[in-house]
Amino acid sequence: MSRNPVRNALGRETLARGACPCLAEPMETGDGLLARIVPSGLIPIDAFAALCAAARTHGNGLMEITARGSLQVRGLNETSAPRFASAVETLDFAFDEHVPVVANPLPTDPAARIRASGIASATRAAIAARALCLAPKVSVVIDDGGPISLDTLAADIRLRAVDPGESSGLAVSLGGDGDTATPLGVTTPHIAPALVADLLAVLADYGPQARMRDVVAREGAAPFMRIAGDRVAPLKERPATRAMEAIGLHRLHDGSCAIGVALPFGQAQALDLIALSQIAGANGADWVALAPQRSLLLGPIGEMTAFALGTAADTLGFVVDARDARRRIAACAGAPACASGYIPARQLAAQIAERLPQGDFALHVSGCPKGCARPRPAPLTIVGTSHGADFICGGEVRHLSGDALSTDDLVARAVQRIVAESEDA
């Protein structure tokens, strides 16, 4: 683990993580080992059900979808983790084992301007061929410009389909999300995979822990422009950022549909995911796609089937309405599942969601000062600390004594603060 302090989303100094948990190298947490899988495409629905069954057999049955659309399995141990990995290896789906290349989850979106999955596949192959030594968290995002936006995802390299008036097709930017990444220019889908690999090779030259945002902040974009050369043309205008929402009905190119649902605060029981996949499969769906913002998509299905499946998902406890208060709260696992957690973040989040007023107020409940659940500051953050909890509101930290502060007290104070801020707005 790197011992260099960094300033996180809560404005606190914490220790930078040197690696990400993966299937072969799970990470120790409060409830055992945690393994992360980054699917590189659609998962056959039977394989998804088998994956969930393996998580229940070898872990504690809790599964998570992250903000970036990765899958996490909790509660493994030194004996069961290798068995879980072996079970996953037998299943019929591909996943990223090196640099994650995140693409839009819908396979045949009629609104998409490019075929992101094909470019992503070629990009993975180009990166693998270079055998680069890169920092564990380096990633690439390929956004097809369709309705499920990837603008909120930060990445070392971003490719984004531009308006039809831009003949080159893909805007290339470095080190950030849709708002903060540094534009490099526009390129073509054919050139993009090799260009991404070359840009990552330049990044690797700065060392095995280098991240694009830091290198660009220090050196500027010139080293990357030199390697890009005439493969990029000037970008007329940065693409406008779009709101992303995977929840709801999505029409596919062949006239069928997919339905998107979200896991409450990113977590669900394996049994509930198995039940959902079985109901979807019985109604014609043959794949599952993990999506950003802790969501998943099931398809292809008919429109009427989608409404029935949405009802079933609601009954199982999944989020099926984008206006659901649980979508306005980012919460990590918290105590006791996370060894770093001081407060039960998801338990608090669930209780607060039940009492939230209508509106679009965003809340972040973080078990510790690392702030893993939300990379950007929220209007209000509850953060667990060694003395109990703090409220962070508008950059101001308000300390709350942990001596007599119960869960009910935290919930009441959070709701009171949200109501007051909503009325002021």
| Secondary structure in 3-state letters for 148-205 | CCCCCCCEEEEEEECCCCCCCCEEEEEEECCCCCEEEEEECCCCHHHHHHHHHHHHHC
Q: What pLDDT does residue 12 have?
A: 38
333 and 367 Cβ atoms separated by less than 8 Å? yes
The residue type found at 158 is R
Looking at every residue in the chain, the average pLDDT score rounds to: 88
Average pLDDT over residues 101-123: 88
Q: What pLDDT does residue 16 have?
A: 40
Q: What pLDDT does residue 313 have?
A: 97
The answer to which of 173-177, 193-197, 331-335, 352-356 has the lowest mean pLDDT is: 352-356
Highest mean pLDDT among 93-97, 270-274, 304-308, 372-376: 270-274
Q: Which residue has the higher pLDDT, 241 or 190?
A: 190
pLDDT band at 11 (very low <50, low <70, confident <90, very high): very low
Q: What pLDDT does residue 9 have?
A: 39
Query: Given a cut of 80, is residue 113 above it in pLDDT?
Result: no
Query: Given a cut of 90, is residue 241 above it in pLDDT?
Result: no
125 and 193 Cβ atoms separated by less than 8 Å? yes
* pLDDT tens per residue, range 187-223: 999 999 999 999 999 999 999 999 999 999 999 999 9
Rounded distance, CA 233 to CA 323, Å?
A: 40
> Distances from the Cα of 276 to the Cαs of 19, 49, 115, in angstroms?
32, 9, 28
Q: Considering the entire predicted model, what is its pTM?
A: 0.86
Rounded distance, CA 204 to CA 423, Å?
A: 50
Average pLDDT over residues 419-423: 65
384 and 343 Cβ atoms separated by less than 8 Å? yes
Rounded distance, CA 335 to CA 296, Å?
A: 25
Buried b (16+ CB within 10 A) or exposed e, 383-410: bbbeebbbbbbeeeeeebebeeeeeeeb
pLDDT band at 396 (very low <50, low <70, confident <90, very high): low
> Distances from the Cα of 272 to the Cαs of 52, 63, 107, 177, 185, in angstroms?
9, 10, 24, 33, 45
In the chain, how many H helices and how many E strands?
10, 23
DSSP string across 25-70: S-EEETTEEEEEEEE-S-EEHHHHHHHHHHHHHHS-SEEEE-TTS-
Dihedral (Cα; 58, 62, 63, 67), 10-degree rounding = -140
* pLDDT tens per residue, range 48-87: 999 999 999 999 999 999 999 999 999 999 999 999 999 9
* pLDDT tens per residue, range 350-374: 999 988 876 677 889 999 988 888 8
Average pLDDT over residues 408-414: 80
Q: What pLDDT does residue 400 have?
A: 55
Average pLDDT over residues 219-232: 97
